[in-house]
Structure 1
Amino acid sequence: MRKIITLTGLMLLAGCGVTGTAPKSVYPKLTNDIALTKRAETLTVTTGVNASDNAAHGAFNWGAFSDEDVAAIKVAALDAINNNAPGAKDSFNIHVKIHKYAQVITNSSYASFVIVDWCIEDNGVIVSDEVFYAGHSDELHLLKGKSLGWAKGITHNAVVSRLINKAITYSSNKAITNAYPENHVFETAEQAVAALPKSLTSVGAFGATGGGFYYVGSSTGQTDFQGKSAYEKVDWARQLKLQ
């Protein structure tokens, strides 16, 4: 009981007092005069086996990547692309597989590492195919607005921004590049792992119950994002049964 009370108090004080529901990413309509010639007809998102990978140290293991997060990424990307292509009659399809969505949280910090494998398919032809990595780390502090949900939202933004930027570049025939800010996105696993912490440490704190005072010490956990970076690239032509 003491442990539960202590962890709850620590999370409320240090910013882990929410369960990790991420806000929907919203992207304002572009103001340039270059019209997009195509819209996204469909956007499918699948996940690999054990894609959701959560570890917690000195905090409840909340906010694991879920179907709700998949839906949020899908809707945000579709909305952002198609809001910029209101008059487009032609279309393309986007296929995404998230191999890994790893998060490590403490009662005072957060780090994430995501592997995204995706392609743009237009009329049975794969016109763009890549793997990219997303992830970031920061403190968690509820009084500063840095909750677990906020942290996951930043990770979602990184994934969505890459998808929509590439899609808009394709739809505008390369007339528009980097339409929206693209932060916390990496071209290689090595770049992502180098930019992220190798470990996270929770904050120790004193507490009190009817039985007296007590102290919960800090704890440290390895992020092991390097060990989580292995995946098998999707053969999109084969997956989609394209010639």
Structure 2
Amino acid sequence: MSFALSVNLNKIALLRNSREGNYPNVVEHAKSCIAFGANGITVHPRPDQRHIRPGDCTELSKLVKPLADVEFNIEGNPFEGAIGSYPGLLQIIEQNLPDQATLVPDQSDQLTSDHGFDLEKTGKTLEPIIKKLKDLNIRVSLFMDPDIKQIDLAKAVGADRIELYTGPFAAAFGQNNWQSIFEQHANAAQHATEIGLGVNAGHDLNLSNMTEYRKLPGLLEVSIGHALTVESLELGLKETMTRYVALCK
């Protein structure tokens, strides 16, 4: 079974933003990733614009849209509204019409995403947002923990896919309990597939732990950015991408 590799460009944008100018160029880096086998490009534009900016989303959309075999995925908190020059996540999505929108319950002060939605609290608010995005022909994925009850609620509010939060698996990998965490993810993925949800995964996946996580039943897509960027410092981008593409096949 093969699955898609979507490369998250946030860390490339973070590096660029540490200096004036446009180096490294996010769009050119995306082109290289695609040339080396990426099936998708992911960005997570946050209100503080510490990495990906709204303009990056526009330029990357222009790059990816003409490519029949590459998808554009914009992720973020759908409840983040306009702040300064940040127009709000939903406006960015509506302006750029990505293939997929991955909705994530992170807050502005979080260093990174670290938990899935609690749909008992936010499901009713999310439901019309999901419908609006789907009416725009955008596939909607919800960032979720491997909780069967919550996954049932993801189906109920209209999501097309879930993205399993793999941070705890990655943190445990190589220790005594990683297999039990993976089994929990496998059960969640199997259940999601059985009720008609597609399964994506992401967060802290890398070349080492992907050797095991790639066995997840029904896996359709992984989103990898931080580790891929770090591993490229040692191996080079081409070699790193070659290894990831092989794992995804």
- Report the TM range for the smaller structure's normalisation: under 0.3
Structure number having the greater strand percentage? 1
TM-score between the two structures when normalised by the length of structure 1: 0.21
- Relative contact order (C-alpha < 8 Å, sep 6+): which is higher? 1
Give the structure with the larger helix fraction. 2
TM-score of the two chains, using structure 2 as the length reference: 0.21
Larger radius of gyration: 1
